[in-house]
Homo-oligomer: A and B are copies of this chain.
């Protein structure tokens, strides 16, 4: 691979392969324990931890790359009784998404297994200093990517992705 030193290449491949394996393990667990896709889990978690409601646009941010995709997922979650959608009194264009008790139950049902997968597959391989280093390294990568999205990506309007 031209243009990348071997050590960089090794880091890149290790990152890609390890995260692919981890993602796959997590997806299996979420599906098996709670019949949730990873996207659905992320959306529910966002409501669960935010202690309540979010507008569709707020909910989409960073999880989904198209608005119709979010509408689709919200439709599934609503049909499953895990969220409700209602008009936003502050903005009549907006839709407020609220997690239901069943939604919280589902998260509580799925969370232990999720934590266990992450613990056993990721953290069990790592020392405490490793974990701090990982948080630092990937935190910097994340922050920079958020600040400077790749120019290859189509110039996108605010919020709509």
Contacts and interface: CB of A to CB of B under 8 A. Distances in A.
Interface residue tally on A, bucketed by range: 35 or more
Q: Is chain A's binding surface mostly helix, strand, loop or mixed?
A: helix
Given A15-B134, A115-B2, A115-B3, A145 B10 contact: no
Each complex incorporates copies of this chain amounting to: 2
Given A15-B122, A29-B152, 14 more contacts: A4-B118, A4-B119, A7-B131, A10-B135, A11-B131, A11-B135, A14-B138, A17-B142, A18-B139, A24-B65, A28-B150, A121-B141, A121-B150, A130-B137
Interface of A: 1-4, 7-8, 10-12, 14-19, 21-22, 24-25, 28-29, 32, 62, 65, 111-113, 115-126, 130-135, 137-142, 144-146, 149-150, 152-153
A21 B122 CA distance: 20
Contact of A131 (B8, B22, B25): B8
Contacts of A65: 24
